[in-house]
Structure 1
């Protein structure tokens, strides 16, 4: 299928060929018939992509600070690699999609194949959308009209926050697409609507809809005009739908408001607010979030958990339905907003010169007889006949793009497949790294006879099930940590592993780092007990990020701290026998990211792992201290190692290296040589995984937990 994307690095807008998404639970696969280009939002993205590196930095000063902090802790080269990797990730454009349901995922009962629906899907021939972001289209509403649903919901949510009443005077600042829809909905609500915009075409359109619209370029003072219209009272409310960096808009909005008036921001403007403007009138100011309640809530959007209508009357989905109903009944006329219509192949007529475009709403038309519904595309034909160590990768996220694939490229690894759920990220990476196939159906990898190692870098909740499927397909597996999220998943893997002469490797890369190997050389292979203090200055991650979800990410102890458990086991040369964990705070919760883990080893070694998320990002992220026989090793952030009390060289400095390159090098060499044992002993992997589970159990029960 074809999809429109924006290259944030080079600034090009591209019509990309990608595989069709594979339907998954809670989602709806839609074949697109129409989509609407939102000029304001998409113009910002396109112009950001076209900006040079300095201009991008000026537009995101908060990101610049994060980059500077990362340079201090990790060094210049790793930081710049991370920045450019981020810019190389393409951005799918569009969020106003209309089409026909092609397939429904498990748990979806609200829709059936053949339903006409609207969603916030991208500009693509097929889109996969969670069910709470999809709404049925009434038969009285055309596809073109329905394409305005999402845009209309953005305006409607601003109105709901403003809470206008019949007869009030409301000002709409900015009469672009969202502003025009907002103004018309306000009129339908019985309000007196004033509008301001510098585009004479938009001003005339607003007038045709019954708005008292003014072009300030004609010399009209906006504040005085509102004062005169309201006999000196001022506007009851102001909705800002403009896109402008100036602070004048917020100031004027306050000045034209009555005492205790309301100002709602829907657009994007400068927000250097004058206290005096708002203080004297006791004005209220609120920013509207997209389509309404539920937006950016993982539980609502991704898990399909609706808010009870008795408590949240208007969710984003119910806003979709309200807009469709308004179009159906004639309360909202959107047809006159359509400026032009183009075939998907003519996309550049829209995106070629958006800066000078006078378009209000452009409709993209999709072919109804398209047969481009394949789940695998060949990017670059290659031959793998007779090769060993041929890789198939499931997962095309940030780790795959920024860390794994650059290392595999240096190793000249043979990668035959890369899979992603949406198809775009895998296709972009397949082109960049000369991978033969991009697919949205990982079964294609499991069924391919030439692939002998499958790498899994998906979200944590599917790691265990993927490992089981790969083993049953008689292939070796490398899975990014963690191996499993609970003991039942782990036991199922152990049982399957015992049946087969295959290797299971978990991405515990730290033990392969050059400085980790140097530390092990100093310590030796003897079984004498040692003390280790390991600190992970892991950094704050917002609570709404999936890694915190115990069902999806497993939390940061199971999902990330396992790295250090494995590293300490490697250095100790022993296995964990019991675990005790304490976390910051008075309330005991299994989902913690500020904790200290105590590990007791079979050989008597004692380890403390501090996993903290409340430290400074400018400080070293990882630090290891080893104490043994009146000797000490101190490793700082995989860049420096100091040895105290040891003979020979006592200090080593290197570029930051966390062991990924060595790990994949050994993995591929091991596969080619036909080694029976994995590059990490399977028993050690199981012990580390059980230790991470025991840490959570210890926290909940307040005791030491033994590992069986």
Structure 2
């Protein structure tokens, strides 16, 4: 299928051929008929992509600070590599989509194949959208009209925040697409509407709709509002403009009545003068996109609706309200359409953004060659080879860590898969994969693929590992192997039943770091017990991010602290026997990313893992201390090893190296040469069990035997 993307590195707006998405649980698959180009938002993204590095940095000062902090903790070259990899990520454009449902995911009840729907899907021939971001279109609303649903909801949410009553005066600053729709909805609500914009075309269009509209640069906006309100001032001001100037917020305050409301929908400078707001006791609020539910993963991705008795207007119910307004003709958008362009001619829109257009509609072909949408790539001539890989998952770990580490490993790239298709296609182009796909079963069914690498969200790991092993493939899975005991036991049974020649590797890369290998060498073959302290300055992640969800990410102990359990297993040469864990806070069973884990090993060694999320980002992220026989070894952030009490060795330095490159090099060699597993399965099993035992210990408040 075809999709419009923005290349952030080169600045090009492209119509890319990418694999079509497959329908997911809780979502619907939509074949697009029309989509609306948001000339404000998309122009900003396109111009950002076209800017040079200095321009990009100026537009995102918060990101610059993050880069500087990363340089301090991880070094210049790893940081620059991460930045350039991020710029390589294609940005899908568009969020106003209309089409026909062609597939319905598990758990979806309100939609059926053939339904006409509006959604926040991208400019793509096929989109897969969660059910709470999709709304059915009334029969008397055309596809073109319905394409205004999402952008109309943005304006509607701004109106809901000011909560206007009949007869009140509301000012709309910025009469672009969102501003014009906002003004018309306010008129339908019985309000007197005053509008301002620099563009005479937009001003005249607003006037035709019944708005008291004026050119901002040809009038004193504050005095105009005062005159029209008999010196009282506006009851509310909605700002839909886009400007870096602070003048807009100051004018909004000056034109407001006492205790008036100001809502920001657009993007402006926000150097607010206290005196402007203090004297009138003004309230100011920023509107969040389409309404309640936006950016809430439970609502958007899991389909958990808010009870209507408590949250009357969610983003989906806002979609439906806009569609009702279109059906009853209280909102009329036909006069906003400036142009209609076939998808193939998309550059007619993107090459002249800001040239006077208000609303541009993209028209999609009626037919799609579905045989070409699941797998996208060049024809492949079968030949005997080894080390042929297929990757399932094209997210940040694959892009930022795994692909750079696989360079020069000897792997032959054949497949890369992602749920949406775009990220897989981008990485396929960059690294020379034969095929990109949205159906990972294509990889499992190809007899030539020797090794499957799995880097999806954690809850999918176990099932994909089992399927890959059963398909006769060597398997690498980024940690964790599983997120609960049931999944782990299923994998153990499958692994024990397959051919002995197949290997299963989990991405416990720290043991392959040259710093850790040197520690192991310095410790020698001593059978004495060790004391090990590993401290992880993990950084804060909000509770609503998927990695914190025990059902999806497994939590940060299972999902990340497992690295250090495996590292201790490697250094001690012994399995974990018992575990206990405590956590910060009064109700620690619900907060596991500020925890202290204590481990006892079968050979008498002890380990302490300090996994903290409340430290400074300026401090190093990881530190490992090993104590044995009057000697001490300290690995500082995998950039330096210091040794105390060792004759002839005191330190070792270098660039940040957590072992990814050596891990993947060893993995490919193992597969190609039949060397066997990189990590014994019983150690992988023990480490995973120990991470589960840590959580159980927290719940039960006692030591847990592994």
TM over 0.5: yes
Deviation at 1:480, TM superposition (A): 0.3
Q: Which residue of 1 aligns with 2:45?
A: 45
Counterparts of 1:305 and 1:82 in 2: how far apart (Å)? 35
**Are 1:533 and 2:533 matched, yes or no?**
yes
SS in 2 for 1:98: strand
Q: Provide Cα deviations, 1:641-693, integer angstroms capped at 9, x if missing partner.
A: 01111121211011111101111111111111123x31000000000000100
Aligned CA RMSD, in angstroms, stands at: 1.0
Q: Which residue of 1 aligns with 2:406?
A: 408
SS in 1 for 2:588: coil
Counterparts of 1:693 and 1:374 in 2: how far apart (Å)? 43
Counterparts of 1:644 and 1:387 in 2: how far apart (Å)? 48
SS in 2 for 1:568: helix
Counterparts of 2:290 and 2:524 in 1: how far apart (Å)? 60
Q: Which residue of 1 aligns with 2:143?
A: 143
Q: Provide Cα deviations, 1:31-75, integer angstroms capped at 9, x if missing partner.
A: 000000000000000000011101111111111111111101100
Q: Provide Cα deviations, 1:432-457, integer angstroms capped at 9, x if missing partner.
A: 00000000000000000000110000
Counterparts of 2:86 and 2:569 in 1: how far apart (Å)? 34
Q: Which residue of 2 aligns with 1:517?
A: 517
Q: Provide Cα deviations, 1:542-564, integer angstroms capped at 9, x if missing partner.
A: 22211111111111000000001
TM-score, structure 1 as length reference: 0.98
Q: Provide Cα deviations, 1:208-232, integer angstroms capped at 9, x if missing partner.
A: 10000000222x1000111111111
Q: Which residue of 1 aligns with 2:648?
A: 648
Deviation at 1:381, TM superposition (A): 4.5
SS in 1 for 2:618: coil
Deviation at 1:371, TM superposition (A): 2.2
Q: Counterparts in 2 of 1:501-580, with a 5 A limit?
A: 501=500, 502-580=502-580
Q: Which residue of 1 aligns with 2:18?
A: 18
Deviation at 1:592, TM superposition (A): 1.3
TM-score, structure 2 as length reference: 0.99
Q: Provide Cα deviations, 1:569-603, integer angstroms capped at 9, x if missing partner.
A: 10011000000111111112244111111010000
Counterparts of 1:429 and 1:376 in 2: how far apart (Å)? 16
Aligned pair partner of 2:445 in 440, 447, 463: 447
Counterparts of 1:526 and 1:357 in 2: how far apart (Å)? 75
Of stretches 403-412 and 617-626 in structure 1, the one that deviates more from structure 2 is: 403-412
Q: Counterparts in 2 of 1:103-252, with a 5 A limit?
A: 103-218=103-218, 220-252=219-251
Of stretches 138-147 and 589-598 in structure 1, the one that deviates more from structure 2 is: 589-598
Counterparts of 1:642 and 1:563 in 2: how far apart (Å)? 21
Q: Which residue of 1 aligns with 2:631?
A: 631
For the Cα contact (< 8 Å) 2:120–2:134, is it kept in 1?
A: yes
Counterparts of 2:114 and 2:698 in 1: how far apart (Å)? 50
For the Cα contact (< 8 Å) 1:153–1:316, is it kept in 2?
A: yes
Q: Which residue of 1 aligns with 2:336?
A: 337
Deviation at 1:353, TM superposition (A): 2.9
Q: Which residue of 2 aligns with 1:396?
A: 394
Counterparts of 2:214 and 2:673 in 1: how far apart (Å)? 77
Q: Provide Cα deviations, 1:61-97, integer angstroms capped at 9, x if missing partner.
A: 1111111111011000000111111111010000000
Deviation at 1:380, TM superposition (A): 4.4
Deviation at 1:412, TM superposition (A): 3.7
For the Cα contact (< 8 Å) 2:583–2:591, is it kept in 1?
A: no
For the Cα contact (< 8 Å) 2:389–2:453, is it kept in 1?
A: yes
Deviation at 1:374, TM superposition (A): 3.4
Q: Which residue of 2 aligns with 1:587?
A: 587
Unpaired runs of 5+ in structure 2?
Answer: none
Aligned pair partner of 2:471 in 466, 470, 473: 473
Q: Counterparts in 2 of 1:649-664, with a 5 A limit?
A: 649-664=649-664
Counterparts of 1:122 and 1:97 in 2: how far apart (Å)? 7
Counterparts of 1:621 and 1:579 in 2: how far apart (Å)? 24
Counterparts of 2:571 and 2:361 in 1: how far apart (Å)? 61
For the Cα contact (< 8 Å) 1:23–1:103, is it kept in 2?
A: yes
For the Cα contact (< 8 Å) 1:194–1:213, is it kept in 2?
A: yes
Of stretches 588-597 and 52-61 in structure 1, the one that deviates more from structure 2 is: 588-597
Q: Which residue of 1 aligns with 2:615?
A: 615
**Are 1:420 and 2:418 matched, yes or no?**
yes
Counterparts of 2:336 and 2:402 in 1: how far apart (Å)? 47
For the Cα contact (< 8 Å) 2:154–2:265, is it kept in 1?
A: yes
Distance 1:384 1:76, change over 3 A: farther
Q: Which residue of 2 aligns with 1:303?
A: 302
Counterparts of 1:369 and 1:127 in 2: how far apart (Å)? 15
Tell me the number of residue pairs that the alignment of Structure 1 and Structure 2 aligns.
Answer: 704
Q: Which residue of 1 aligns with 2:94?
A: 94
For the Cα contact (< 8 Å) 1:395–1:456, is it kept in 2?
A: yes
Counterparts of 1:544 and 1:200 in 2: how far apart (Å)? 45
